[in-house]
Structures are given as C-alpha cells and as structure tokens.
Amino acid sequence: MAAVQEKIDTMSLKGAFQGITLSRYETGDLVVDVSFFNGLRSQLLITASGEVVKQMPAEEQNSKVTEETGAIDGSVDKQAYSIGDVLPNGWVAGPVSPTTGKPMAIEPVSGALEGYQTWYKGEEHAKTLRGQGYASARQPDENELNVLYNEVVKAGHNQNAQFNTSCFVSYGQYWSSKTKPYNPKSARTQYFDNGDEYGGFKGEASALVRCVSDAPDITLV
C-alpha cells in the first residue's frame, strides 16, 4: 500500500476534493476515483505493484467495476449536506437546479462582487470564476434564481449564503443570466425580499451579482 500511496502523490492530484472512491479487484489492481467541487473528476488505475498504468475516463471505470467478478467495493461514504451548509471549498450548498438537474453551489458572499453591478460585470465575474477552476460558474438563469429565493431565502437557509433581502435603500435585487424577450439590452432580475421578478438594463449598475456552479458530486439531505 505504501507503493500505491507514493504513486498517487507523484500524480499531483490537487484541488478541493469532494470525495475519493476506492475499488480493488481480486487481481490486486486499485481504481482511485477523485471528484472535485468544480465538477472535474480524475481516475487512476494502479496495479498491485503500485504502477500507474492508465488514467481512465469515468464511463470506462464504471463499466469495468460493474463487470468485474468478485470486485471489492471500497467506496468512502460521501457526506450529505443540507441546503445552506458551507462546503469544504467555502461555497454554500444550494438546491437542485431546475435547468441542469444538478445541485448548485452558491458563491460565498465574501468572494462576490460588492454593491450594485451591471449585468455585463456579472458575466465577467462568472468568466473569472471559470478561469479559477469552477468550470460551470455562471449567473443563475431566471428559474435558478427563483429556486434560490424559494429554497434558500424563503425556506430559512440564508444564514451562510447571506443573500440581501432588504426592501429598503440597499434592496436585494439580483441579476439572472436571462435576457428579456424582445429586448437584448435588458435581463431578468428578482427581488429577494419578496420574490418579485423584474428586469433591468444590462448596462446600468442596478442589481446585485451572485454566481452559482454545478456541484454534481454532493449529496443533499
């Protein structure tokens, strides 16, 4: 096992890990499946002698594991999260996206753009997050924004996400990624004090920005 550990270290698997699954065959070969919070996965096939012989795509690994007779499943149980929990990478567990069908991770308020921004600034910010490894980072579309309001704010899970719910001067209106029909210069917005949907001109700094990213490897309670 020491030889195996040495080989894993030399592969330099770096990042914010969501989970690691180990599967060993009767032959002694070991499959190491590492999942990251940014949606990426890395699979290694390591022989009984500790030699890394192949980097395997997820589909191929799953096929081999299920077809192998007598394979031993050494899976590490994944931690389940409730909506509003802080994830190991600092993002916040969000509800399932009605658009992608995957759980969302919510950008922490500490890393979000402060104050009212233009829609274009929000798109630039999402692009920056993708460059930092959050491959699916985006401004939520109007359906995702509504789910965030209902299942995070309205449901009482806003302690860590800290969406702005003020109805006074610093009102909590958030941009969505959705352009308004028949008006490419405007985008959908939503107020997080009462859930009302509205819209604004993309070039005006009139709403807040909070990005989300797919988190397919987390399990929601």
pLDDT in tens, 45-103: 777 766 766 555 544 444 444 333 333 344 444 578 999 999 999 999 999 999 999 99
Residue 67's domain spans which residues?
2-75
The answer to whether residues 90 and 182 belong to one domain is yes
Higher pLDDT, 219 or 126: 126
The answer to whether residues 168 and 192 belong to one domain is yes
The answer to whether residues 104 and 199 belong to one domain is yes
Closest CA to 148 of 134, 137, 135, 162: 162
Closest CA to 14 of 49, 30, 31, 38: 38
pLDDT in tens, 162-217: 999 987 666 899 999 999 888 999 999 999 999 999 999 999 999 999 999 999 88
The answer to whether residues 140 and 160 belong to one domain is yes
With residue 176 as reference, give the H or E element that holds it: strand 173-179
The answer to whether residues 97 and 46 belong to one domain is no
Predicted model pTM: 0.66
Residue 161: give its domain's CATH number: 3.10.100.10
Burial class (CB in 10 A: 0-12, 13-18, 19+), 32: buried
* Domain boundary residue, one of 44, 75, 106: 75
* Domain boundary residue, one of 75, 105, 132: 75
Distance CA 92, CA 160 (A): 7
- Please tell me the total count of domains within the chain: 2
* Domain boundary residue, one of 47, 75, 103: 75
The answer to whether residues 53 and 151 belong to one domain is no
